[in-house]
Each structure stands twice: as C-alpha cells, then as structure tokens.
Chain A
Amino acid sequence: MSIRQQTDAFDQAPSTAGCRVPYRVFTDRQYYDREQENIFKGNCWSFVGLEAEVPQAGDFKSTFVGETPVILTRDSDGSLHVVVNRCAHRGALVCREMRGNRASLECVYHQWAYDLKGDLIGVPFRRGLKGQGGMPGDFDMSQHNLRQLRTETVGGLVFASFSETVESCRDFLGPIVVEQIERIMCKPITVLGDQRQRIRGNWKLYAENTRDPYHASLLHLFHNTFGLYRSTQTGEALMDANKRHSLLYSIAASNDDAADKQAYGDSRTFDTEFKLQDMSLLKGRQEFADNVTLVILAVYPNLVLQQIQNTLAVRQTVTYGPDEFELVWTHFGYQDDDAEMQAIRLKQANLIGPAGLISMEDGEAVEIVQDAIVGEASATSYIAMGGGRAEDADHLVTEGAIIGFWDNYREMVGFDLEPA
C-alpha cells in the first residue's frame, strides 16, 4: 500500500467534508498545558460533584478541575463553595482527605485556617511571640483567602469555574443539557458508591468515545446482542447551540431482532449464540415515561451523565497528563427506590464502571489509540460518519457530535501550537 492510500496520511487530498484531528493533540505536553489554562481554568464550567455527596453543613469532598485540586464544601448556611485546595501561605494541600465533615479548613503545615467559603480566619503567631516575629504590620487577612471558584448547581449537579467572565452555568450548558439533567435528577437521589478507573490514554479520547454512537454497537457485544443499544434503534444524537455538549439517547423498545440481525450481518457483536445462564442481570424496570433506555449526556469538558437501563451515574474526568486520566464513576439511585429497585441498580452496576461488562471496553478503546499514535507529529484521524459535519442527527449512525467537540477545542486551544 502506498503512503497515499493510507487514511491517516498527512498529504492525502483534503475531502470537502470530514474532520481531521492531528494525533499530536493527544500526546504533546504543550496541548495538555494549554488545555489546563484555556479549558479547565478558562471559560468553562467543570463538574465537581453531586450535592448529595455533601448533604450536611460542614461536609466536604476533595476533587479536581482538570488537574487542579479543589475542595467542594457545604457551609453552615447550606451554600456550596469550591476552592482551590492550596494554602495561600506556602502552597500546601489544605485538605488531605477524600471526604469528611469539618467546621473549618486548616492547613497542617502552619495551621492557617479558612472558613468553608475559603476565607482566611486564622494565622498562628500573626502578631509574634513575646514581641518577636509576627506578620508585617500591613498584613491583610482578606488578601490571603483560598482561591474561590464560581460555583453553581443545576439539578443537584455542582459545577465550578475559574472564569469571572463565562456565562452562567445554565447558559453554558444550554437548554438541551439542562433538560436532560433535570430529567434524570427528577427527584432526590441517594449515592450508591464510587468507582475509580485509571486509563492510560488522553482524556480527549474519552470525550470522543462518549460522543460516538457509531462505536457503541460495534465495540460492545452486550449492547448489541442483548439489544440494550443498537445503531438501528430509534434515537438521536443532538448538541447544544455551541456544539460543545452531546446528547445520545435511544429506545430499546424499538428493537427488531430479525431486521437488526440482517443489518449487522456477521458482526462479532451481534451474536445470537451468546446466552446468559442468569438473565436477572438484564431484568430491570421501565423508569421513565418517555421509554428512553439509554442516555449518554457528554458535558464539555469533564462530565458524562448516564442512564443505561436502570443504572444512573455521573462520570467525571480528572486529567493526570497527556497520556493518563482518571474516570470517577459515582452511581446513584433515588431516595424513594424500593428494595427491589435498589437490588436492580446494584446488579445492573455489573454493566458499567471499570468492571462493567459494557464499559470496561472503553478503557481498552482509548488505550489502543494512545498506543498507536505515539510519536506521531503530523498524521490525523478521519471523522466523517454521518456526513462529516458537526450536525445533529435523528439517527445513531453519526460522528457529528465528535466534530462539534473538536470545533470547540480548535477555538479554545487550537490544532497548530508552535513546537516548543
């Protein structure tokens, strides 16, 4: 095969449609650093947690915005705050626990203390000891607070932003995303637990993966064989006006096994011979009046809110570097779930997360890309299923929402950073 026939050759004649993403954006530290500044600390709202994770006054949770450590707190008046987890004195972590409850935040290094809003309230030996030492006379406590992020909630999901200029969180999300959040967060929730997964790949490969209805029935046998998701299903792939976020939804009741088998032919993932001994795994309940059985809501830049059958979860991306990220899965149910519904959710959790019969496969999908693009300076991917433009689709044979992600990325970071 000549170089010209290779789909990722950089000198290939440009097609009128289709999106080409240079592989260097997944491997080059420069892009990673620029993303931290322009996306995670830029004009974006990042997901930091669920209100239900910090229900009581004094509750806190340590988490990250991009790679930056932050603390989500609930103050005595019930208000939520997000602060950078870094002492204003000499930069130590103020909070070293994953979660807990405290009246104030105190750095262990020199005991500088902050209230739950992040305001500095105590500096030991501020006026010195026995007339010696002490802070300078013009030391102003109010100038040494923890860095406080803008914090807003939508439907019990807490978002934070470093930006003073970004629009409100609701406007950033747009009506489609807000409506989908409120659909799932329709009543008080109960956190069922967390799962954490380290993936040895670039975080944007997962952003692509969760905007990609094309792969879901071709990679995941459980989706296709058991009809949980097929590209033949009734469903849509929609974006917000800015095409940052992506909504994929589908309705399993639209399956037509015979016609679907014909559509998929000999595909590995449509395996009529594959049977389970214990089908209780897939016995769930129709929970939503709209009959939708799968929702993957990918919210730029770091969140997925999902419903797969009766599993409900948020997935938060934490970046470690160009070639590594963590995925934090927080599963939840509703406070009014009866015992049977609780059992269904705990059993169906076998489908998702790092050990999920479906979701485990996305970790490998990310890693085999990362492994293959090592050191590649100029070659690109080619994304064109469904027409090759960032357009909504009333079907599930599209990659349009991936292109929407990249259009935003190109604007915020760019594909052509100068070599360092």
Chain B
Amino acid sequence: MMGLPTLEQMQLQHAAAQVNALHAELIDDDRLEEWPDLFEENCRYSVISAENHNRSLNLAAVFCDSRGMLVDRIVSLRRANIFPAHSYRHILGPTRVKSTSGQIVTAQTNYVVLMTRNDGQTSIYNSGKYVDEIDVSGAAPRFLSKTAIFDTHLIDTMMVRPI
C-alpha cells in the first residue's frame, strides 16, 4: 500500500507541474521569446511522433540540442517562416514524477494542443505526452530535456510553434 507523499515529493511534484504550466502559458500567450529561458543551456527539446518513437526511430519533427536552437526556432517563426496565422491552447493533464536522481526530476504529463486559425475554428491539433527531465537545483526549475511524443502523426499543414 502506497503511503502518503513526503513533503519533498510534494514539492518536486509541484515544481514539475508549475514549470509545465508555465511552458504552456508562454506558448499559448505568444510570449515565445521567454520560452527558451525555461531550458538549460545544454538542453534537448524534441517533438517526435509516437509512430517513430515506438519503433525506436529517432527522427523528430523538431529536434534542438541547445538553448540557442530554441531561440533560433522562435526568431525564424517571427522573421523567416511563412505559415497560416494561428494560435495554440494547451490543455495539460496531471504531472506525475516518475523518478528523481539528485536534483533531476523525471516527470510525465499528458497534453492536448488545440489550434485556432484565422477562420475562427478550433481543432485538436496535437495530442501526446511530455517526458521531461527537470533540473530543480536552481532558483527556478528548468528543463534539461523535454520530449513531446505525439499521437497525432498527421500534422495539419505545418508545425511552427513549440508543442
């Protein structure tokens, strides 16, 4: 029988959930320039289909292995890329801490991203789960790695915003 969580477990769970909530908020509110700050300098961010992930294939839709690459994605979105106007709304499920190792927490969170385009219609754009490694040693928790493994392997037109 599972006992009640310790205070430390609750704190870690809270920290993991909070940083995920902030991640979603920054994207949905189009505060994308602040989004890379949620990651360590030497981070990994990957958005990969379950179709590939479940076959142990590493090909991702988005794969960044530095915070600089995250910044580059945002600068490209703002200045380079051509895509249909749209916004996201993330709906997050509960974050569960799967394991801890020192100051690194491994956590998992289900998500749904709704997309609204210029025509005013909102659709389910992408659903999946985050598997995160979160560094809780600093003043604010930061992602050491964030992997969005998505079920929705048919991507609607394009993917330019972070998931």
Q: Give the complex CA separation of A346 and B115 in angstroms.
A: 27
Q: Does A272 have its Cβ within 8 Å of any Cβ on chain B?
A: no
Residues on B with beta carbons closer than 8 Å to the beta carbon of A194? 49, 51-52, 59, 153
Q: Which residue of B lies closest to A98 (CB)?
A: B51
Residues on B with beta carbons closer than 8 Å to the beta carbon of A197? 154-155, 157-158
Residues on B with beta carbons closer than 8 Å to the beta carbon of A363? 83, 157-158
* Majority DSSP secondary structure for residues of A touching B: mixed
Interface size on A, residues (CB 8 A): 38
Residues on B with beta carbons closer than 8 Å to the beta carbon of A353? 61
Q: Give the complex CA separation of A200 and B72 in angstroms.
A: 28
With A355-B158, A360-B158: A195-B80 Cβ-Cβ less than 8 Å: no
Q: Which residue of A lies closest to B85 (CB)?
A: A364
Q: Give the complex CA separation of A350 and B48 in angstroms.
A: 12
Kindly supply a per-residue 1/0 record for chain A positions 193-206, scoring 1 wherever the CB is within 8 Å of any chain B CB and 0 otherwise: 11111111000000
- CB B83 to nearest CB in A, in angstroms, measures 5
Q: Is the CB of B66 within 8 A of A278?
A: yes
Residues on A with beta carbons closer than 8 Å to the beta carbon of B159? 354-355, 360
With A274-B79, A326-B154: A280-B66 Cβ-Cβ less than 8 Å: yes
User: Which residues from 105 to 163 on chain B have a C-beta closer than 8 Å to any C-beta of chain A?
Assistant: 153-160
Residues on A with beta carbons closer than 8 Å to the beta carbon of B154? 196-198, 326
- CB B128 to nearest CB in A, in angstroms, measures 14
Q: Is the CB of A192 within 8 A of B57?
A: yes
Kindly supply a per-residue 1/0 record for chain A positions 323-351, scoring 1 wherever the CB is within 8 Å of any chain B CB and 0 otherwise: 00010000100000000000000110110
Mark the stretch among A14-22, A119-127, A218-226, A246-254 that contacts chain B.
A218-226
Q: Is the CB of B66 within 8 A of A199?
A: no
Out of B58, B72, B79, B155, which one reaches A198, CB within 8 Å?
B155
Please report B residues at the A interface, Cβ cutoff 8 Å.
47, 49, 51-52, 55, 57-66, 68-69, 71-73, 75-76, 79-84, 153-160
Other than the known A192-B58, A277-B71, what 13 A-B pairs have Cβ atoms closer than 8 Å? A192-B57, A194-B52, A196-B154, A196-B155, A221-B79, A274-B80, A276-B75, A277-B72, A331-B59, A354-B61, A355-B47, A355-B158, A364-B83
